[in-house]
Chain A
Amino acid sequence: MELTVGPNQFFWKAEEWGALYQDLATAPVERLVLGELVCSKRLPFYQNAILPALETLVDAGKEVLLTSLALVTLKRERKMTAELAEAGVEVEINDLTALAHLPEGARFAVGPLVNVYNEGTLAWLATKGAKRVCLPPELPLASVETLVRAGQEMGLAVEVWGHGRVPLAISGRCYHARLHGRIKDNCLFACEDDPDGLEVDTTDGKPFLSMNGVQTLSDSCASMAYQIETLRDIGVSALRLSPQSVGFVETCGLYRRRLNGEIDADTLSDELVKVSGGMRLSDGFLTGERGADWSGKAA
């Protein structure tokens, strides 16, 4: 199985954004998806760092793709999305609007925020030129298995959400702005202070969700630590690792060692918690009753 680094979901300063990809140039991952997924207002702050990062990664032998935005509404966002198709880099569509702009027959990838729940959708995307699909994180194992098999017949690689806070929802409203008594158009970039999202707890103190501007994620970090063998056996082509601000390069290395059989699931999950500074883990969407469940040992 390969490792794909998904687009950074959070708002980081340009130097930190660039530094991550410098470090990842030597990390044991095959593929990286760069660009802004969540909020078009963030992009100008690190836009100039994207091309150098892309060049560094390509020189290091990595496959690099550019993501579309997850929700395209404004004129400026439509323009951004149309321009993606002209960048000369393979696009990962995370809103179907990006597909509407791709030239007929262009090769593209499909990200986890496009609703791919069944073989019919997979087949339609394949006829349009999709070569790789990262499935929505909420899919159970039975669906993943069916889709991997269908994908193999269509020459389409299927990837699953392997590690990271799970993107659960996208909205027209900015929750970070709302939290600070502002509106989205005058947000003053409140999300910048939370490089892994802002923890949202229940009123009785249970960590639950994470706020990231217009996006809502899980508090827990999904990890397929205990599902590696199952996913490999059913033919999943890659695991997607989603960037976090602490210990991410180490995290990539740990997953590689797990894939190589050098460490077991218990060791991987223990180490993931350590290098991240104490994240909570979940894998319930794939095998549990509900997304928040964790099949590993209690923390």
Chain B
Amino acid sequence: MVMEIVCPAGTPAALRAAVKAGAHTIYCGFADETNARNFPGLNFSRAEMAEGIAFAHARGAKVLVAINTYPRAGDESLWHAAVADAETAGADAVILADLGLLAYAAGNHPNLRRHLSVQAAAANADIINFYGAEFGVKRVVLPRVLSVPEIAAINKETEIETEVFVFGGLCVMAEGRCSLSSYATGLSPNMNGVCSPASHVDYVEDAGALSAKLGGYTIHAVGADEPAPYPTLCKGCFTAGEKTAHLFEDPVSLNAEHLIPQLAKAGVTALKIEGRQRSRSYVAQVVKNFRAAVEAVDQGRALPEGMLARLSEGQAVTTGAYKKTWR
């Protein structure tokens, strides 16, 4: 079976572009803090969601609605409404991370398919099967801490479908278990759907150096004429002991296109592309490449030559934890 390409859409235009480019499935979110890409100018109103889903369904594509932040105490109704509205809009599934929200969705919307978000960081077969038994989860998006052999081992021990990230931004920490961003800025992926938010970024020029700061902390410093990468906290340059370096991760993004045959062999159902904040032309290009790749793998042909490097952040790419030596 051809592996499913799961593609991000931050706007209705990106959704249509992804469907036309051949994405099997689109994931998107409502324009509020219920989803983990809560950026200004992104995401869908209720009406846009219904229209987008109708557009996708008419062309044989599915739409998943990500409601994958952790509901705020006292305000859970906002997240409950998002689940109800996703069902009303015709979503093929919701992508959830919070235990309380999973229990709510399973109890109140039993016919709405539930996927487990990467933000739940379910990293072994025991916990994946537990989510299946407790909440009827049908698919789990695996955290970016696992090697390909570990993914294969998980698939041998579970009936629940697995989806893995293959392209785009790379979390270095276990997803949904990181409060680095709120330590420096007060805003976090879990609570606010943002990481290293632009609202807290400053570029400061001093003595021929350009510092990119987040919440007042210098994340990178480069020569004034060098390109300054965005100050994503975990990809910053810091000093520990005698060493100054990118101690956590280099400013790289994930590209696992060459691992697609191995991921297929490992029993992975779906390949996920990160980037709801990306343009529709980017999305369309990435989808075309990955669609061609999964069809080649399905037909036993060699992978088409890599076309994706130029789309990657700062040109530098990694296969992350899929190779054990990354750890």
Contacts and interface: CB of A to CB of B under 8 A. Distances in A.
Interface of A: 70-75, 77-78, 81-82, 95-97, 99-101, 113, 115, 117-125, 136-139, 142-143, 146-147, 150, 166, 168-175, 177-179, 183-185, 198-206, 208-209, 211, 216, 218, 284-285, 288-292
B184 A146 contact: no
Nearest to B206: A204
12 contacts: A71-B121, A77-B124, A100-B129, A115-B190, A118-B74, A146-B74, A168-B178, A172-B174, A179-B241, A204-B221, A291-B179, A292-B215
B224 interface: no
A269 to B, nearest CB: 19
A228 to B, nearest CB: 21
Given A115-B97, A117-B72, 19 more contacts: A74-B150, A96-B99, A115-B190, A118-B71, A119-B74, A120-B76, A122-B100, A124-B100, A169-B178, A172-B321, A173-B249, A173-B327, A174-B327, A185-B327, A199-B240, A203-B218, A216-B248, A284-B186, A291-B186
A96 B70 contact: no
Given A118-B73, A119-B100, A171 B145 contact: yes
B244 A168 contact: no
B321 A143 contact: no
A156 B294 CA distance: 49
Interface in B234-256: 234, 236-241, 243-245, 247-249
A115 B177 contact: yes
A100 B130 CA distance: 6
B179 A183 contact: no
A40 B274 CA distance: 31
B144 interface: yes
Nearest to B216: A206
Contact of B179 (A142, A169, A204): A169
Interface of B: 70-74, 76, 97-101, 103-104, 120-127, 129-130, 143-146, 150, 153, 172-174, 176-180, 182-186, 188, 190-191, 211, 215, 217-219, 221, 234, 236-241, 243-245, 247-249, 321, 324-327
B238 A73 contact: no
Contact of B100 (A120, A138, A177, A202): A120
Contacts of A184: 327
Given A96-B127, A118-B100, A143-B73, A73 B145 contact: yes
A96 B243 CA distance: 36
B240 A179 contact: yes
B123 A169 contact: no
A185 B100 contact: no
Nearest to A193: B241
A292 B183 contact: yes
B130 A117 contact: no
Interface of A is mostly: mixed
Contact of B327 (A81, A136, A183, A203): A183
Contacts of B73: 117-119, 139, 142-143, 146-147, 150
A198 B249 CA distance: 17
Nearest to A197: B240
B174 A171 contact: yes
A290 B100 contact: no
Contacts of A137: 179
A125 B240 CA distance: 39
A175 B248 contact: yes
B221 A173 contact: no
Nearest to A181: B243
A177 B243 CA distance: 13
Interface centre among A166, A202, A289 (most CB of B within 10 A): A202
A286 to B, nearest CB: 12
Shortest beta-carbon contacts, A-B, top 9:
A120-B100, A172-B145, A291-B183, A290-B186, A121-B100, A117-B70, A100-B130, A184-B327, A169-B173
